[in-house]
Structure 1
Amino acid sequence: MTAFAVESSGLTKRFGRQVAVDAVDLAVPRGAVYGFLGPNGSGKTTTIRMLLGLIRPTAGGHALLGERMPGGAAAVLPRVGALVEGPGFHPYLSGMDNLRRVDAADRTVKAATADARIRAALDRVGLGAAAGKRYRAYSLGMRQRLALAAAMLTPRELLILDEPTNGLDPQGTREVRALVTALASEGSTILLSTHLLSEVEQICSHVGVMHRGQLVAQSTLEDMRADSAPRVRVETDRADDAARVLRELGLDDVAADIGEATGALGQIAPEKVVAALVHDGVPVRGFAVVAPDLEDVFVSLTGEGFDVSG
């Protein structure tokens, strides 16, 4: 058995002259919650569509659960649950009846257990009370929940979820995060595509960062943070002078704001920074060494800001 639930090598997709996905080498370990991180338009959804066989890659190849795709699709896809882009269901059927249609298309399950499995999936995503309501009357958040339920009608070894909290209110977002954590604890591997750093920081064990169609970083969340230098934060009423001292010491990415100066510490000892500030006569009201958060890591990788909401 391969150690990876998802593997790709040189996975590429071009649309005419536009390169949407550029030679992506994914490695998603079995049992991981893998945060597939990147802003909208970075190539995440196109990559996911190739992984699931919904579109053909221009170049490269990949495997799911050890089965090469697309040749192994019939064998592997029944073991994979997916939510890709906007969920699509019949508008005049109830949530329950829509899931009956989805379940009936799966030849690997027993029809006799369908209603019990469907009700369990609806309850798990908080739609038990709305099971008989027509889909057209569902809110965006309810539609997203129904799509999650469809992905969980049977136990799945791999779940590929594209922006699963899209359209959910804060309470619904917290519930989906708890659900993803529970599914991982039950043995499923989760590939979670998102543009929200908070989702990744709270529930993911591994991270891949997409930027303009390329996978610019991939590792455990812990290692990714460790690879980024901690920052010093100096509280002072002479921020410009403090920033000058930090630059003279060789700190990178130095910035001054009202009441504080910051910089990437690198290999310089914190006590040396404090001593240099005091020696230069800069009044230090507060000093801290701050571990980098995921936003700092993303900016260091791409040079761009990011959405930290959610």
Structure 2
Amino acid sequence: MPIAQNTRTGEVPDDGPGGGAVLTAERPMTGRTGADEDLSIVTDGLTKRFAGGQVAVDALDLAVPAGAVFGFLGPNGSGKTTTIRMLLGLVTPTSGTCRVLGTPMPGGAGTVLSKVGALVEGPAFYPYLSGEANLRRYDAADRSADPRTASARIGLALERVGLSAAARKRYRAYSLGMRQRLAIAAALLVPRQLLILDEPTNGLDPQGTREVRALVKEIAADGTTVFVSSHLLAEVEQMCSHVAVMRAGLLVAQGPIADLRAAEAVRIRVETPDTAEAVAVLAGLGLPEIRVGDGEVGAGLATEAPERICAALVTGGVAVRGLAVQRPSLEDVFVGLTGEGFDVDG
């Protein structure tokens, strides 16, 4: 799937939250290259306006490949949760359409939601009941679940999220990480084709964050499409294969993370007291975008091998204290697309 920017006319505003350069103007603006049956989620012009004219989601064209770990990224208030509520049939769109697992929503909610697990805006459980007892109540409320297999499925779900040893412990004694894992277990009580997680690492300590991240990867490895909403760039970068970026209700870009990174140039950074001499050598090698800092020189790497650059610098009499290849992070990509960043560390 190519990177795509979402503007309904194909034009990009000069400023504002939807600004940015069109990366692949000759490609479809939705970023879709396959048939809809290859996509777990498809939206076309999906829009939600609330009372007073507030536009929470503006003409969203989203394409989530089946089997992907898809990061739905944006700062708080960018329209992520409203989009998820529309996908799940909890909020009716003002205009546009959405299909989940090939089924139009919200009309098809009764048939498709049994194939979808979701955690939206944090888990909700009875604090005085054990994790296992809470899951029994969740399972009993699911009309598609077979009560004859409840015990086996609950045990399997607890094992899958690593909570078998804490199954009889009361929920109020669970750590934040354990609570998030129990919520994911509730979403996996029956086999799911799609798992939607809204801010699954919100409020977690580093250990809890690692636990949830590892669990998402395990679920995806079993063939489930995982749709992860987050405002944390670093988490999405480590967890996801594809990403879409929202800002103020607009889709800024979407596509595989590798393709997004490829849009930003790889650079080389040389630490040296001989900045003038280093500039001359790098210019002689034809490296682009040479920039001089305090005790360092940077340049676009282009096609030149780093070891050859280092050898040329030493041969040219440049004292090289350090040399590093800097590959663009997800933060670099988004700054390049939008002209600004957002909550990188939360």
* TM-score where L is the length of structure 2: 0.77
Match status 1:14 vs 2:49: yes
Distance, in Å, in 1 between the alignment partners of 2:54 and 2:281 is 46
Which residue does 1:179 correspond to in 2?
Answer: 215
Partner SS state of residue 210, structure 1 = strand
Looking at structure 1, the residues matched to 337 and 53 of structure 2 have their Cα atoms a distance apart, in angstroms, of 26
CA contact (8 A) 2:86 2:106 kept: no
Matched residue, 1:262: 298
Q: What per-residue deviation string (whole Å, max 9, x for no partner) do you get for residues 236-275 of structure 1?
A: 336699789999x9955x765433243556x696899999
> 2:25 corresponds to which residue?
none
Q: CA deviation at 1:110?
A: 0.9
Are 1:229 and 2:265 matched, yes or no?
A: yes
The share of aligned pairs that are identical, in percent, is 65
Quick check: 2:163–2:178 contact (8 Å CA) kept in 1?
yes
Alpha-carbon distance in structure 2 between the residues aligned to 1:53 and 1:172? 30
**Cα deviation digits, residues 1-53 of structure 1 (max 9, x gap):** 71100000111222323222221111001111111122222221121111111
Choose from 143, 146, 157 the match for 1:110.
146
Residues 287, 300 of structure 2: 8 Å contact kept: no
Write the deviation string for residues 199-243 of structure 1: whole angstroms up to 9, x where unpaired: 222232111112222111111111111111222323233669978
Residues 135-154 of structure 1, C-alpha deviation per residue, up to 9 Å, x if partnerless?
A: 33433333222211111111
Partner of 1:2 in structure 2? 37
In 2 relative to 1, CA 11–32 (structure 1 residues): closer, same or farther, beyond 3 Å? same
Please give the alpha-carbon distance, in whole angstroms, between the structure 1 residues aligned to 2:76 and 2:288.
Answer: 33
In structure 1, the gaps of 5 or more residues are none
CA distance in 2, matches of 1:62, 1:257: 49
Cα distance change of structure 1 residues 120 and 268 upon mapping to structure 2, 3 Å threshold: closer
Measure the CA separation in 1 of the matches of 2:69 and 2:85: 19
Task: Give yes or no for the alignment of 1:124 onto 2:160.
Answer: yes
* Higher strand fraction (1 or 2): 1
TM-score scaled by length of structure 1: 0.85
Q: What SS class does the counterpart of residue 37 from structure 2 fall into? A: coil
Structure 2 unpaired stretches of 5+: 1-35
Preserved contact between residue 12 and residue 21 of structure 1 (Cα < 8 Å): yes
Task: Tell me how far apart the structure 1 counterparts of residues 98 and 163 of structure 2 sit (CA, whole Å).
Answer: 35
Contact 1:81/1:160 (CA < 8 Å) preserved in 2?
Answer: yes
| Alignment check: 8 A CA contact 2:334 2:341 kept | yes
**Aligned pairs, number:** 308
Q: 92-101 vs 186-195, which deviates more?
A: 92-101
Q: Report if aligned partners of 2:281, 2:312 keep a CA contact under 8 Å in 1.
A: yes
Distance, in Å, in 1 between the alignment partners of 2:260 and 2:79 is 21
Give me the CA root mean square deviation: 3.2
**Once structures 1 and 2 are overlaid, which stretch shifts more, 100-109 or 267-276?**
267-276
Equivalent residues in 2 for 1:1-310 (5 A)? 2-15=37-50, 16-237=52-273, 257-262=293-298, 285-309=321-345
Task: Look up the SS of the partner of 2:331 in the other structure.
Answer: helix
The amino acid across from 1:78 in the alignment is S
Mapped partners of 1:62, 1:240: distance in 2: 57
Separation in structure 2 between the aligned mates of residue 243 and residue 195 of structure 1, nearest angstrom: 39
Contact 1:195 1:307 in 2 (8 A): yes
Cα displacement (A) at 1:105: 1.4
Cα distance 1:24–1:276, how it changes in 2: closer, same or farther (>3 A)? Answer: farther
- Contact 1:36 1:193 survives alignment (8 Å): yes
User: Structure 1, residues 49-100: CA drift from partner, whole Å, max 9, x if none?
Assistant: 1111111222211000000111111110000001111211223332222211
Relative to structure 2, which stretch is displaced further, 230-239 or 108-117? 230-239
